[in-house]
Amino acid sequence: MLAVKVPKKEAEKTRRKLLELGVLAKGYSIKREGDFVLFPVTGPVEGFEIAEAEFEKVERRPRSYREVVEVPDEIRPLLPSSFDIIGDIAIIELPEELMPHGRAIGEAILKVHRHIKAVFAKGSKVEGEYRVRELIHLAGEKRTETVHRENGIRLKLDVARVYYTPRLATERMRIFRKTRPGEIVFDMFAGVGPYSILLARKAKLVFAVDLNPWAVKYLEENIRLNKANNVVPILGDVRKVAGNVKADRVVMNLPKFADRFLREAMLSVKPGGVVHYYGFGPEEDLYSEHEAKIKATARELGLSVNFIERRKVRPYAPRQFNIAIDFKVE
Ligand SMILES: C[S@@+](CC[C@H](N)C(=O)[O-])C[C@H]1O[C@@H](n2cnc3c(N)ncnc32)[C@H](O)[C@@H]1O
């Protein structure tokens, strides 16, 4: 095929020029010949020495498991375009029709994403007080413990025993940016500590509570792993702790039931302190119901609230969003 031949020292400049002109032939490797470099091109290029040469074909690595997985054509459109990666574990949500092909899908994910060592399918919704879901092993190691990196911290966790989603990383960073040095933070539903440990980088002290003994075991390990010695892990029901803590900032990351804990949150915040409330809301009216409950609880306690910000955090279900409301309690 046609080639542009240039001295070695001009290779990089030439490569950029050929790319810019859009004449570099794709799928072939560049060739060295003594003090010269040969570029495969799609046609003659003005201003360059043109030669004839044979080039080796380069295999393009597939970017998605969908390019390599073998499933019947009629169900191919159902293949999810994305999945969660927690540490070296992939968790994918498969429609029923694809479940019989779970193993092939898992193997394809392992093949394309070399850093993934185990693949699971979601076997249920997030359920119960601990907010965990069933997982179905599809391929790779039968292991559910991993270490995940997020916002510069390391989180060890067991994906089958505790709640954790990487999809809140941006939201957690947002709360980190709002946190001021020296603050006391109360993380009411701490899980393995993705908020607590991050906020501890700025706060003076973080009280981190969770009901799930596995979550608190990993939280304690993560405190050690990240040297976050200003995080105080507490195992138990937050109702027993609330009121004994007076915080500048309260995080209520239990969207399914946070409205049931508003009293506890308001009793645990200093005057002028901020509460980060999470909930789920229908697309047509995301915030009204939650804001009404917040106002009603404040009224009952003889307090007043000031809404600072409200936002969609992420889509949750069709026409449903995970939302956040930040409010000040006076
Ligand atoms: C949605 S998860 C959030 C965990 C963590 N904040 C995160 O972002 O990964 C909610 C957590 O609240 C805990 N939880 C539920 N009810 C609780 C209660 N009454 N007291 C303390 N923790 C509770 C669950 O065990 C679960 O770990």
Domain range spanning residue 131? Answer: 65-143
Nearest Cα residue to 224 out of 156, 135, 165, 174: 156
Task: Please give the Cα distance from 59 to 39 (Å, whole number).
Answer: 17
Task: Please give the Cα distance from 115 to 309 (Å, whole number).
Answer: 38
80, 117: one domain: yes
Q: Is the pLDDT of residue 60 over 90?
A: no
Question: What total of structural domains would you count in the chain?
Answer: 3
pLDDT tens-digit series, residues 76-105: 999 999 999 999 999 999 999 999 999 999
Strands (E), 236-319: 247-252, 269-282, 305-317
The DSSP line for 6-65 is EEGGGHHHHHHHHHHHT-BPTTB--EEETTEEEEEBSS--TTSEEEE----B-PPPPSSG
194, 295: one domain: yes
| Residue 72 located in a structural domain | yes
pLDDT, mean of residues 266-291: 97
pLDDT tens-digit series, residues 158-175: 999 999 999 999 999 999
For residue 9, the domain's CATH number is: 3.30.70.2580
Instruction: List pocket residues of ligand 1, CB cut-off 6 Å.
Output: 129-131, 163-164, 168, 189-191, 194-195, 209-212, 215, 237-238, 253-254
Q: Is the separation of the CB atoms in 322 and 278 below 8 Å?
A: yes
Centre a 10 Å sphere on the Cβ of residue 56 and count the other Cβ atoms it contains.
Answer: 10
Q: Which ligand 1 atom sits nearest the alpha carbon of residue 130?
A: 25
69, 116: one domain: yes
Q: How confident is the model at residue 59 (pLDDT cuts 50, 70, 90)?
A: confident
279, 325: one domain: yes
**Arithmetic mean of pLDDT over the chain:** 97
Please report the pLDDT score of residue 269 as a whole number: 97
pLDDT tens-digit series, residues 120-131: 999 999 999 999
pTM of the model: 0.86
For residue 241, the domain's CATH number is: 3.40.50.150
In DSSP terms, 210 is beta-bridged to 235
Task: Please give the Cα distance from 208 to 267 (Å, whole number).
Answer: 16
319, 196: one domain: yes
**Which of 86, 132, 151, 163 gets mutated to test ligand 1 (max ligand atoms within 8 A of its CB)?**
163
48, 69: one domain: no
299, 240: one domain: yes
For residue 77, the domain's CATH number is: 3.30.300.110
Please report the pLDDT score of residue 241 as a whole number: 93
